[in-house]
Amino acid sequence: MTEQKSSNAMWGGRFAAGPDAIMEAINASISFDKRLASQDIAASRAHAAMLADTGILTDTDAAAIREGLLTVLSEIETGAFPFSAALEDIHMNVEARLTELIGEPARRLHTGRSRNDQVATDFRMWVRDQCDAAVFGLEALMKALLVQAEAGADAVMPGFTHLQTAQPVTWGHHMMAYVEMFARDRSRFVDARTRMNECPLGAAALAGTSFPIDRYASASALGFDRPMANSLDAVSDRDFALEFLSSASICATHLSRFAEEMVIWSSAQFRFVRLSDRFSTGSSIMPQKRNPDAAELIRAKVGRITGSLVALLTIMKGLPLAYSKDMQEDKEQVFDAADTLMLSLAAMEGMVRDMVPGFEVMRGAASSGFSTATDLADWLVRELGLPFREAHHVTGSLVKLAETKACDLPDLSLEEMQSAHSGITEAVYDVLGVDKSVASRASYGGTAPEQVIVQVKRWQDLLK
């Protein structure tokens, strides 16, 4: 009964009986929202300072509150804090302990605010920090990719469409493709952070407050650009969490695509890369196995992150304004997605830094599979003036001939080449080598080594 009275105390005299064990279990969120402790205490300290500056609290009470909150934070950080499910959430746990420490002044802290704007502020601050962490992790991964790109700017490998050999590209060009993808992820987190950097504190339950608070002061103290302009929106908005999950889901999708390539490339059939022992495992029964487990796990974790986005979208889709208890289910999804994303980014960075490309193997693969067929068609257009569709047809007939002879295009004799079109000359062989093929793709953003180096230097400067 003691716990029930403690839990019931926050509701004043409205309820005569405390919740039973089932209600307490479904209602309590302290098991997960204790992760918001530092944000909750920072927001409360800023709120207390603002209340003192506006004359709503005495300086003495405000100072006692701010010092007491530092003691609470220290207890939490050292593991000495006694979290209680009976007190439901991090806000009531902190307030109850503060009351034990400093007494009556603690009871004045909640003036001009509600748990509705309190949790909206704490959660927004936490997600804001995760955006910063994601940007940091992405930049580290991009720098690792730049090292690989610069080292292999002129290393030829096959480019694929439909996982079929398409045209020769360079290893550096392929690495830079992921730099661009992760750069867009980085910009999404930056954009999301900018949009979410408005402060809900002071919106109170839903309608604002009759106390003469200064919302601009508390917003500034917490690093926000401004207070949110509508109190209903302030307590009921979770767009910031949805945007974070959306950005995380797209980023995880990019990580998954890269992880899939690592799985393929590290196979015995490809041998394009060798992953380090740090990011590979063996088999319990097959001693020859070298499994790319880290890449496979990254590939799988996109499901958790995207699932979190779908879950929160589903939670929010039918909620009327303003606050509903459904919103208590918002945090676990975001916490898990953030943890999963940061782990995946760190693992991918490690794999990229450690992986050793098999340049000779890749070069051999690029030299087979008729990868220079497009170069042949382009030569027919450029040198013989053929319409591209006719050049495409001529090239296709030569590919078919090479297939029947079990050779590649450069292995066909000039006479065999001329059987498809009499105008073909010895000069055609100049474009059928993979090095000349990649060198010719010198348009902006192309695979030519000179273009790769341009992009590498650009991103090195941007990430300084």
Q: Which of 283, 324, 368, 397 does the annotation list as catalytic?
A: 283
* CA distance linking residue 172 with residue 152, whole number of Å: 5
User: Known catalytic residue: 393?
Assistant: no
Paired strand residues for 158: 168
CA distances from 63 to 41, 55, 70, 201, 434 (A): 14, 13, 11, 20, 73
CA distances from 151 to 144, 148, 156, 212, 393 (A): 11, 5, 12, 62, 38
User: Known catalytic residue: 47?
Assistant: no
Tokens 């493709």 label which residue?
Answer: 177
Contact 141, 180 (CB under 8 A): no
Contact 214, 199 (CB under 8 A): no
Give the helix/strand (H/E) hosting 343.
Answer: helix 331-354
Please choose, from the candidates 389, 160, 126, the residue with its C-alpha nearest in 3D space to the C-alpha of residue 261: 160
What residue type is assigned to position 320 of the chain? P
Phi and psi at residue 19, to the nearest 5°: -70, 150
Give the chain's largest Cα–Cα span.
Answer: 100
| Token digits of residue 84 | 């209680």
Specify the length of the chain in residues. 464
* CA distance linking residue 331 with residue 315, whole number of Å: 11
Establish whether the linkage from the previous residue to 62 is cis, with ω within 30° of 0: no
Q: How far is CA 121 from the centre of its chain?
A: 22
* CA distance linking residue 128 with residue 131, whole number of Å: 5
* CA distance linking residue 348 with residue 361, whole number of Å: 23
Neighbours of 405 (CB within 10 A): 12
Q: Show which residues are catalytic.
A: 162, 283
